[in-house]
């Protein structure tokens, strides 16, 4: 057995966990309430992630209450860029919960390893099966049905491993109809269909080295966006990578992991399902990304470091095709992303030094260079005459964090400084319609880097029964990029009320607080509670948009023999600090009660779990501060699921 353990540890993912250096949050991909969740639902259970929702599908994750441009969202360190100018396809929409093992969320500049960031990084980690001395097969099948939107899904995983070879695959299909809100009204255009499959194979090339290839293929079809005037006809993503890992038994460098990757995303929005629209429009978008991630783990005594080289080349294209009334006569055309190339290369080092058994210093830095090129810069010149077609930016980042443990208490303080480059939309977007505030957005190639100064602190108390952790962070962001009304512009999309240009505020500030507690009343009865609060303000002390009001969640888990019972109660207070300037209005408070029960048994020696539950049990009618167009959320939803592991 011992020998087998050692063999298993040759898979470097296992090895890496041993030298985990940042305060990363790892969770199995299931929430406390629901054992089969979408990636979005899973992320929503983290206290540092909130979501902008435009429907039932593909929510935009917000880390530390900042929009997704300010985070680096990666899959195993790979950059994938959504192809929708309206951010309908965040990276998280191209993976499925059954091909992910964990999500690493790192707040602020500590998340600089995968690229320059302000709010932090979200790294979606794919499942990897370790090599095994004994050839073995593993698999799981999950299926379920959700009553509210008649969603059903089937998901399957298989993996084979021996001491030289690993092969694994997953497949998933979800299909949902329109959901019904708490008033029993059907929310039109909220249906979706999603197919996702992944394959991976690893081969051990030596005692301490292996090569691995992976691919994810994802297709979404007929996805409705009730908050938008158009829907998704089809999106597809192909995400591929090849990785070489080498471990070293001694020396400073203990592991070296190099990955080359390629991914391509296509996203076709149109309004063929909206005959009422005055003007018909297609908004296809494409992104193609090539990249390299190379990571070395350095270890010497009490010092650990992770050195990472990151490089990618991305081409983003988005078109706007308008049809006056007759769809066969397309007369109008413009690029909303005029063939924008982004090249990035960055080197980061994250160090961890154990000063004493009870205290640790984490510090690090990164330097990136970001290059943009717009092929059809003519489009941008209309609003920004003479803007440069090419732009190179240097993006530095540094941070330090000190952790101290005193008996059952732990404390940490930290600080960080970093730059980020404007996103493709912020720099080069052209008449990108935002249905939240109903403005057309114009990018500005001359925008300055956003510069973030952050401080953070945490305090925790942990015994066997009780865990309490409080975290705060504060960001002061210079040149904060946001859309401001451009008087000279005239809207292009008929639903819009005006034109906004991305501009830099002198500064903006963001404050985030979270309190997580858990208490084990007995071995079988657990209570958990979470409280989050955030405040975001611009230079004139006005409110920033999409800042979550005070929110809470409390849940109880009870286990009795093979049965499990869970109940959770969560909600937001009223969003009193809303921003009318950005199209927000006061969102009232809401609270939701969820319950579920599960039963575990053996079916032909296969571990089987069945679960039934209800979300929004009292069928509340509500929408949250981040729901576009105040689209109501789902009413009562009864769900059932079945999981078989073999």
Partner 1 sequence: MIHLVVAVCIGMVITACTLDKIDYEAELATAIPQAYEFEEVVLIESNGYRIEIEALNGTFYKGYNELHFTVTNMSNNQTVDDAAITWLPIRQLNTAAYSCPHSYNVLYDATNGYYSGYSVFDYESGLEGTWEFYMSVEINGELFTIQQGIEVMAQPNMNLNMTTFTGADGISYYIALVAPVSPSVAENDLVAGIYQYNQPEEPAGVFPDPSQFSFSEVQGATVLLDPRMPEASMGNHSSPNNEDLTQMTEGLYHGVVNYTMTGNWTLNFMFLDADGNLLAGTEVPTDFTPGIEGAKSELYIDILF
Contact of 13 with 166, CB cutoff 8 Å: no
Our CA angle for 580, 584, 585, nearest 5°, is: 90
Among 217, 244, 290, 511, binds partner 1 (CB under 8 A): 217
Report DSSP state, residue 65: T
- Does position 153 interact with partner 1 (CB under 8 A)? The reply is no
Residue 67, token pair as written in the block: 């929009």
For partner 1, give the closer residue by CB, 171 or 176.
Answer: 171
* Ramachandran category for residue 593: left, alpha or beta (phi over 0 → left; psi -120 to 50 → alpha): beta
Write the interaction track for partner 1 spanning residues 268-307; mark x where CB under 8 A is met and - where it is not: x---------xx----x-x---------------------
- Does position 644 interact with partner 1 (CB under 8 A)? The reply is no
- Does position 141 interact with partner 1 (CB under 8 A)? The reply is no
Query: Using CA atoms, how far apart are residues 539 and 572, in angstroms rounded to an integer?
Result: 26
CA-closest candidate to residue 141, choices 128, 127, 157: 157
CA-closest candidate to residue 163, choices 187, 185, 130: 130
- Does position 56 interact with partner 1 (CB under 8 A)? The reply is no
Q: From the CB of 524, what's the least distance to partner 1, in Å? A: 39
CA 536 remoteness from chain centre:
21
Contact of 144 with 640, CB cutoff 8 Å: yes
- Does position 348 interact with partner 1 (CB under 8 A)? The reply is no
CA-closest candidate to residue 13, choices 297, 350, 305: 297
Q: From the CB of 544, what's the least distance to partner 1, in Å? A: 27
Among 29, 171, 227, 544, binds partner 1 (CB under 8 A): 171
Write the interaction track for partner 1 spanning residues 428-457; mark x where CB under 8 A is met and - where it is not: ---x--------------------------
Interface region with partner 1, contact rule CB under 8 A, candidates 254-262, 317-325, 461-469, 614-622: 317-325
Interface region with partner 1, contact rule CB under 8 A, candidates 104-112, 164-172, 253-261, 549-557: 164-172
**DSSP helix/strand/coil, 39:** helix
Edge-to-edge strand order for the sheet containing 78-79?
78-79, 71-75, 120-126, 100-107
For partner 1, give the closer residue by CB, 325 or 541.
Answer: 325
For partner 1, give the closer residue by CB, 88 or 171.
Answer: 171
Among 147, 355, 497, 603, binds partner 1 (CB under 8 A): 497
β-partners of residue 238 are: 217, 264
- Does position 356 interact with partner 1 (CB under 8 A)? The reply is no
Q: From the CB of 349, what's the least distance to partner 1, in Å? A: 37
- Does position 94 interact with partner 1 (CB under 8 A)? The reply is no
Q: From the CB of 234, what's the least distance to partner 1, in Å? A: 7
Query: Using CA atoms, how far apart are residues 137 and 615, in angstroms rounded to an integer?
Result: 35
Number of residues that bind partner 1 (CB under 8 A): 51
Query: Using CA atoms, how far apart are residues 390 and 445, in angstroms rounded to an integer?
Result: 9
- Does position 583 interact with partner 1 (CB under 8 A)? The reply is no
Query: Using CA atoms, how far apart are residues 123 and 120, in angstroms rounded to an integer?
Result: 10
Q: From the CB of 374, what's the least distance to partner 1, in Å? A: 12
Q: From the CB of 199, what's the least distance to partner 1, in Å? A: 5
- Does position 559 interact with partner 1 (CB under 8 A)? The reply is no
For partner 1, give the closer residue by CB, 183 or 490.
Answer: 490
Query: Using CA atoms, how far apart are residues 61 and 294, in angstroms rounded to an integer?
Result: 26
- Does position 325 interact with partner 1 (CB under 8 A)? The reply is yes
Residue 159, token pair as written in the block: 């993996």
Contact of 430 with 380, CB cutoff 8 Å: yes
Quick one: three-class SS letters along 289-353?
EEEEEEEEEEEECCEEEEEEEEEEEEEEEEEEEEECCCCCCCCEEEEEEEEEEEEEEEEEEEEEE
- Does position 223 interact with partner 1 (CB under 8 A)? The reply is no
For partner 1, give the closer residue by CB, 163 or 375.
Answer: 375
Among 16, 199, 367, 525, binds partner 1 (CB under 8 A): 199
- Does position 242 interact with partner 1 (CB under 8 A)? The reply is no
For partner 1, give the closer residue by CB, 264 or 591.
Answer: 264
Instruction: Supply the DSSP string of 213-234, one letter for each residue.
Output: EEEEEEEEEEE--TTSS-EEEE
Q: From the CB of 498, what's the least distance to partner 1, in Å? A: 8
Write the interaction track for partner 1 spanning residues 599-638; mark x where CB under 8 A is met and - where it is not: ----------------------------------------
- Does position 418 interact with partner 1 (CB under 8 A)? The reply is no
Query: Using CA atoms, how far apart are residues 273 and 232, in angstroms rounded to an integer?
Result: 10
Report DSSP state, residue 542: P
Q: From the CB of 542, what's the least distance to partner 1, in Å? A: 26
Query: Using CA atoms, how far apart are residues 198 and 104, in angstroms rounded to an integer?
Result: 20
Among 147, 382, 466, 586, binds partner 1 (CB under 8 A): 382
CA-closest candidate to residue 118, choices 444, 505, 478: 478
Interface region with partner 1, contact rule CB under 8 A, candidates 65-73, 365-373, 376-384, 513-521: 376-384
3-state helix, strand, coil in the chain (%, to 5): 10, 60, 35
Burial 402-438 (b: 16+ CB within 10 A, else e): bbebeeeebebebbbbbbbbbbbbbbbbbbbbbbbbb
Our CA angle for 175, 622, 496, nearest 5°, is: 80
- Does position 164 interact with partner 1 (CB under 8 A)? The reply is no
Among 494, 563, 599, 618, binds partner 1 (CB under 8 A): 494
For partner 1, give the closer residue by CB, 460 or 491.
Answer: 491
Q: From the CB of 443, what's the least distance to partner 1, in Å? A: 14
Among 141, 152, 160, 244, binds partner 1 (CB under 8 A): 160
β-partners of residue 100 are: 126
Residue 288: which H helix or E strand, with range?
A: strand 280-300
- Does position 337 interact with partner 1 (CB under 8 A)? The reply is no
Q: From the CB of 270, what's the least distance to partner 1, in Å? A: 9
Query: Using CA atoms, how far apart are residues 585 and 39, in angstroms rounded to an integer?
Result: 28
Query: Using CA atoms, how far apart are residues 140 and 645, in angstroms rounded to an integer?
Result: 4
- Does position 142 interact with partner 1 (CB under 8 A)? The reply is no
For partner 1, give the closer residue by CB, 261 or 383.
Answer: 383
Binding stretches for partner 1 (CB under 8 A): 158, 160, 167, 169, 171, 197, 199, 215, 217, 219, 234, 236, 238, 264, 266, 268, 278-279, 284, 286, 317, 319-322, 324-325, 331-335, 376, 378-379, 381-383, 385, 431, 486, 488-492, 494-498
């Amino acid at each position: 057995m011992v020998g087998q353990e050692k063999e298993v540890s040759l898979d470097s993912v296992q090895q890496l966990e041993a030298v985990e250096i940042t305060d990363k949050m790892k969770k199995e991909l299931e929430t406390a309430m629901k054992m089969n969740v979408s990636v979005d639902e899973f992320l929503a259970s983290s206290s540092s992630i909130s979501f902008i929702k435009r429907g039932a599908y593909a929510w935009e994750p917000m880390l530390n209450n900042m929009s997704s441009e300010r985070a680096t969202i990666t899959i195993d360190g790979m950059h994938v860029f959504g192809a929708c100018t309206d951010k309908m396809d965040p990276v998280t929409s191209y993976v499925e919960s059954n091909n992910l093992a964990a999500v690493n969320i790192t707040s602020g500049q500590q998340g600089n390893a995968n690229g320059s960031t302000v709010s932090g990084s979200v790294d979606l980690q794919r499942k990897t099966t370790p090599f095994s001395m004994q050839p073995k097969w593993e698999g799981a099948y999950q299926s379920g049905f959700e009553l509210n939107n008649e969603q059903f899904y089937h998901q399957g995983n298989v993996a084979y491993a021996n001491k030289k070879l690993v092969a694994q695959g997953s497949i998933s299909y979800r299909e949902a109809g329109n959901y019904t809100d708490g008033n029993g009204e059907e929310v039109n255009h909220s249906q979706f269909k999603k197919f996702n499959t992944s394959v991976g194979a690893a081969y051990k090339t030596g005692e301490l080295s292996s090569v691995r290839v992976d691919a994810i293929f994802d297709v979404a079809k007929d996805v409705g966006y009730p908050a938008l005037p158009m829907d998704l006809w089809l999106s597809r993503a192909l995400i591929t990578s090849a990785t070489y890992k080498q471990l070293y038994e001694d020396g400073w460098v203990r592991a070296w992991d190099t990955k080359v990757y390629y991914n391509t995303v296509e996203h076709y929005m149109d309004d063929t399902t909206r005959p009422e629209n005055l003007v018909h429009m297609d908004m296809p978008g494409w992104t193609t990304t090539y990249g390299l991630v190379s990571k070395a783990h350095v270890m010497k005594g009490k010092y650990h470091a992770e050195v990472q080289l990151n490089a990618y080349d991305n081409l983003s294209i988005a078109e706007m095709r308008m049809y006056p009334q007759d769809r066969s006569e397309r007369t109008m055309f413009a690029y909303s992303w005029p063939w924008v190339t982004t090249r990035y290369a960055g080197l980061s080092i994250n160090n961890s030094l154990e000063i004493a058994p009870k205290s640790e210093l984490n510090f690090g830095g990164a330097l990136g260079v970001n290059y943009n090129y717009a092929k059809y810069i003519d489009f941008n010149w209309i609003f920004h005459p003479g803007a440069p077609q090419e732009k190179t930016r240097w993006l530095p980042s540094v941070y330090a964090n000190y952790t101290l443990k005193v008996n059952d208490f732990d404390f940490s303080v930290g600080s960080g400084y970093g730059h980020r480059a404007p996103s493709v939309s912020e720099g080069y977007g052209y008449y990108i319609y935002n249905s939240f505030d109903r403005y057309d957005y114009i990018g500005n190639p001359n925008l300055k880097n956003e510069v973030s100064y952050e401080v953070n602190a945490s305090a925790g108390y942990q015994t066997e029964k009780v865990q309490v952790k409080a975290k705060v962070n504060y960001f002061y962001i210079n040149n904060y990029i946001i859309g401001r009304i451009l008087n000279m512009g005239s809207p292009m999309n008929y639903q819009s009320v005006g034109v906004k240009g991305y501009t830099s505020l002198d500064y903006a500030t963001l404050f985030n607080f979270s309190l997580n507690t858990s208490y084990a009343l007995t071995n079988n009865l657990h209570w958990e509670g979470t409280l989050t609060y955030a405040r975001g303000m611009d230079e004139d002390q006005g409110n920033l948009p999409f800042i979550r009001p005070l929110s809470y969640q409390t849940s109880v888990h009870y286990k009795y023999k093979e049965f499990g019972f869970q109940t959770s109660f969560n909600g937001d207070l009223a969003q009193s600090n809303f921003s009318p300037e950005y199209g927000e209005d006061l969102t009232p408070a809401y609270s939701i009660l969820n319950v579920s029960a599960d039963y575990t048994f053996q079916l032909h020696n296969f571990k089987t779990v069945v679960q039934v539950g209800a979300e929004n049990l009292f069928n509340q009618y509500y929408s949250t501060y981040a729901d576009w167009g105040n689209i109501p959320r789902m009413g009562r939803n009864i769900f059932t699921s079945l999981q078989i592991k073999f």
